[in-house]
Amino acid sequence: SAVISQKPSRDICQRGTSLTIQCQVDSQVTMMFWYRQQPGQSLTLIATANQGSEATYESGFVIDKFPISRPNLTFSTLTVSNMSPEDSSIYLCSVGGRATDTQYFGPGTRLTVL
Amino acid sequence: DAKTTQPNSMESNEEEPVHLPCNHSTISGTDYIHWYRQLPSQGPEYVIHGLTSNVNNRMASLAIAEDRKSSTLILHRATLRDAAVYYCILRDVTSGTYKYIFGTGTRLKVLA
């Protein structure tokens, strides 16, 4: 299993600013994933972040809006840039290894944009 | 990506069994069936997964249809703590991406 922490747990931000969310894992993992969960909705995958390579973004998400860093095997950041109220969501990171393994999810970061 | 279809919501009485269905008619031979649940204000947590055979663990059982086009998550005795959104997800082991594509899930309400 893996224990994942996220910082901050929640934040309230002003329109036009940026917020960087941190994801820390207690063990080395190959793959990390970032999800967005809009109010009352399911999870939507933003991107896959592997250490040593650029993140792979899903359709509808772009690097300029959601830049991701993956400096080592236990840490990643997601930045939500130039925020608007539509970015108000819960952002979650998860880690997973082999295809048949489970994924472990962080507790999420609840973002409110005014 | 293969898709799953689940009822939006279900109700169960406490201490009774719950059968949560999932349809995945476009499943491929290399897709694993994973179930996760999300308790209020938490990230999703793993419940169970399988490929072809039925699976049991301490949390639940997974019954997979012979043609693999549907599956059922079985909670043997629902408790109030089992109230959550349950997601049925297909995961392709050959794509190399290992990503999950979440569907809408089933919101389970447990009545005391």
Which residue among B42, B46, B93 places its CB closest to the CB of A102?
A: B46
Residue B101 has what pLDDT? 81
Residue B20 has what pLDDT? 98
Instruction: Please identify every stretch of chain A with a pLDDT value under 70, giving residue numbers as ranges.
Output: 97-100
* Of A78, A98, A11, A38, the residue nearest B49 (C-alpha): A98
Backbone angles phi, psi at B81, to 5 degrees: -70, -15
Per-residue pLDDT reduced to its tens digit, B11-65: 999 999 999 999 999 998 888 899 999 999 899 999 999 999 999 999 899 999 9
Residue A6 has what pLDDT? 97
CB-defined contacts A:B, below 8 A? 57
Tokens of B56: 């049991």
CB contact A38 to B (< 8 Å):
no
Q: Which spans in chain A are helix H?
A: none
Judge: B42–A33 Cβ closer than 8 Å, yes or no.
Answer: no
Backbone angles phi, psi at A10, to 5 degrees: -160, 155
Per-residue pLDDT reduced to its tens digit, B93-108: 666 667 788 889 999 9
Average pLDDT over residues B3-16: 95
Residue B67 has what pLDDT? 95
What is the DSSP code (8-state) at residue B5?
B
What is residue A85's three-state secondary structure?
A: helix
- In order of A9, A23, A94, A112, B81, the CA distances from B40 in angstroms are 15, 20, 17, 18, 10
- In order of A70, B15, B59, the CA distances from B80 in angstroms are 39, 9, 14
Backbone angles phi, psi at A87, to 5 degrees: -85, -5
The CB density around residue A23, as the number of other CB atoms within 10 Å, is 26
Question: Residue A55: exposed, middle, or buried by beta-carbon count in 10 A (0-12, 13-18, 19+)?
Answer: buried
Q: In chain A, what residues touch B104 (CB-CB under 8 Å)? A: 42
Residue B83 has pLDDT above 60, yes or no: yes
The chain A residue lying nearest B87, using CA atoms, is A42
Judge: B99–A33 Cβ closer than 8 Å, yes or no.
Answer: yes
Residue type, B84: A
CB contact B50 to A (< 8 Å):
no
